């Protein structure tokens, strides 16, 4: 089994930011126009980190490189989840369900799979977790968030948003 480099998390985060930038640009009626540019700048910062780590952090401990890359990936996942809630509140609730099923859940599951693969190879960075339990956890989170985003919850979120405006 080959060893994964910690920068694979940064590459996945860059891809997630770029896809999020493209989707928010295509759906410009539901998002502020600056959001796609913000996501592009976040992707460029990931590229900058890769160039910096190639030059300066190659001699640094792999734990530090892992946590930097993992924090970047968590930031990308956070952006995906918050944009999903933004779609649920501002736009159509049905579209939020599509966004959730097509973009949010797969990205979380791929991230959990990569983290479990990395932890099983490295052993010392994270506690060893079986991949089956992580996939079951991701599936349970997906089902739980789908139940959370039922139509009544979406109506309550819209009421809160209308009151703020």
39 in any annotated domain: yes
pTM summary value = 0.74
Predicted local confidence at residue 100, as pLDDT: 77
Dig out the tokens for 159 from the structure: 């009421």
Predicted local confidence at residue 150, as pLDDT: 64
Number of domains in the chain: 1
Query: Is 60 exceeded by the pLDDT of residue 139?
Result: yes
From residue 119, give the alpha-carbon distance in Å to each of 43, 61, 92, 143.
Answer: 25, 16, 39, 25
64 in any annotated domain: yes
Predicted local confidence at residue 129, as pLDDT: 52
Predicted local confidence at residue 153, as pLDDT: 66
Q: What range does the domain containing 131 cover?
A: 8-164
Among 60-69, 78-87, 124-133, name the one with the lowest average pLDDT.
124-133
3 in any annotated domain: no
1 in any annotated domain: no
């Amino acid at each position: 089994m080959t060893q994964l480099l910690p920068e694979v998390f940064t590459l996945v985060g860059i891809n997630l930011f770029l896809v999020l930038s493209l989707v928010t640009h295509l759906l410009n009626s539901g998002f502020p126009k600056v959001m796609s540019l913000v996501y592009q700048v976040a992707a460029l910062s990931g590229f900058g980190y890769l160039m910096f780590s190639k030059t300066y952090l190659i001699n640094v401990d792999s734990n530090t490189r892992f946590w930097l890359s993992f924090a970047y990936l968590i930031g990308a996942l956070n952006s995906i989840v918050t944009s999903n809630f933004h779609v649920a509140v501002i736009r159509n609730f049905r579209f939020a369900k599509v966004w959730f099923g097509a973009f949010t859940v797969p990205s979380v599951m791929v991230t959990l799979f990569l983290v479990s693969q990395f932890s099983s190879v490295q052993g010392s960075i994270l506690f060893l977790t079986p991949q089956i339990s992580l996939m079951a956890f991701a599936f349970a989170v997906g089902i739980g968030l789908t139940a959370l985003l039922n139509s009544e919850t979406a109506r309550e979120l819209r009421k809160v948003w209308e009151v703020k405006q």
